[in-house]
Amino acid sequence: MGQEPTIHSLETIVTQGLCIGCGLCKSLAGKDANGAGNVRMVMNREGGERPLVTGTVDEPTLRLINAVCPGLHVEGYVHETSVEAAEDAPELHPIWGPTRLMGTGHATDPAVRFHASSGGALSALSLYLLSSGRVDFILHVAASKLQPTRTVDHLSFDAAQVIEGSGSRYGPAAPLADFKAVLDLGRPFAFVGKACDISAIRNYAKFDSRVDQLVKYTLNFYCGGVSEFGKTMDYVRKVGFSERDISHLRYRGDGCPGPMVMKTHSGKVFNFSYNEMWEDEARWQLMFRCKICPDSIGDLADITVADVWPGGRPDTEGLGFNGFIARTRRGQHLLESAIVDRAITITEPLGYDGLELAQGSHMYKKQSITARLAAMGDEGLIVPDFRDLRLDQAAAKLTEAEREGNYDGMLSRLRAGDNVENMPVAIG
């Protein structure tokens, strides 16, 4: 018989830097007899939303959490059905994953294109899913109404709610913190979020049949990594205010890609350009788990959307564009219908060379993962189980010197404690 897998505590997952803060563990842990959550999502000292056990998490629940946690397990594309005809299989690129339909384009509605991020692709698809009756609502994230510097899970049942939640959110978020409660609604919906969030959903689908019944579509954006909350607070402090002074924070939108806009309760307004916000990579404050992300581009999404900026920098004077990749049959059908019904406009083809030019950082990260994981194993740390993501094929594209550089760099970071996080402390 095979050896039982090691079951890790939530504290171990967090303190070794493997938690991405998706919140699914909080949802699965349920509530105690008094209706209080057994797990809360709380900001830790490093600026990440992290699970804090405040009640009882029994062994079966902890085993389930370990099985579905995307910090521990990510599985890539294998096939959509147990028997998939060869002629109907998608093209499977070693870096960019399964593809059925690709193109460059934008939201057809000029207001959506301008207000949302880049070309407005995800907002336009969300609006189309609602207007066409394919789903009853969208699960995504939006700025907290009480603390607009923070991000919360958000359900959109109509166009106004989608637009309210549009625009990128750079910082910690737990979109799956109430996932079981969303399933309990028993209504078809779509999810828009990061690839790691979608991995969590697909992991959980093996244990709850409602996921496949109710999650009709998953849409994701190419993710460069999640910044810790300190990234946001740097800008709040830069203008001489505290978090409680901020009445509005929009990271991106109203242009291509649009400025970061902060407003205070006293009526002051501050703007920072996109390039100003991201030009110094040393200040991105990315979470450690993002540095070993094997799938920042959404192998398992139905449709994935990328910024298609040559050289990785936007033309802030022009209009926004997105790259669309339909990965599954239902994603292809959705994108084709959205094009026919004029929700989405495709302006030109999109090829892998275009992705490499605009999103080359994703390619290099995928090529570097095996070396970084090897360093973690040699340091006696938990090594996440990343399967069917073509990581060996990707690593083979690097030279031996490049692989050694990634290994040595990760080893140095680990020995410096860059992966170590503190558990959050409950407040109130």
Residue 82 Cα distances to 79, 85, 172, 321, angstroms: 7, 10, 36, 36
Alpha carbon distance 142, 145 (integer Å): 9
Q: pLDDT-derived band of residue 55, with 50, 70 and 90 as boundaries?
A: very high
Residue 424 binned pLDDT confidence (cut-offs 50, 70, 90): confident
pLDDT(312) > 50? yes
E-state strands within 157-313: 189-193, 215-221, 246-250, 260-264, 269-272, 303-307
**% of the chain with per-residue pLDDT over 90:** 77
What is the C-alpha separation between 112 and 103, in angstroms, rounded? 19
pLDDT in tens, 300-310: 999 999 988 76
Q: Measure the N-to-C terminal CA separation of the chain; round to a whole number of Å.
A: 47
pLDDT digits (tens, 9 = 90+) for 187-233: 999 999 999 999 999 999 999 999 999 999 999 999 989 999 989 99
Q: Are strands 137-143 and 151-156 parallel, antiparallel or unpaired?
A: antiparallel
**Torsion sign across C-alpha atoms 175, 180, 185, 187:** positive
**DSSP state, 282?**
G
The pLDDT of residue 280 is 77
Mean pLDDT of the chain: 92
- Out of 27-31, 232-236, 367-371, pick the least confident: 232-236
- Tell me the average pLDDT across 51-71: 96
What pLDDT band is residue 318 in, cutting at 50, 70 and 90? confident
271 pLDDT band (50/70/90 cuts)? Answer: very high
- Please report, for residues 26, 28, 63, 67, the alpha-carbon distance to residue 60 in angstroms, rounded to integers and kept in the order given: 14, 11, 5, 11
Q: Are 170 and 251 in contact (CB under 8 A)?
A: yes
Confidence of residue 396 (pLDDT cuts 50, 70, 90): very high
Confidence band for 428, pLDDT divided at 50, 70 and 90: very low
**What is the percent of the chain where pLDDT is above 70?**
94
- Give the pLDDT score at 426: 60
Distance CA 219, CA 226 (A): 17
**Model pLDDT, residue 357:** 87
As given in the structure block, the two tokens for residue 359 are: 């999103």
Predicted pLDDT of residue 82: 46
Whether pLDDT at 126 is above 70: yes
Residue boundaries of the structural domains of the chain: 90-228+282-361
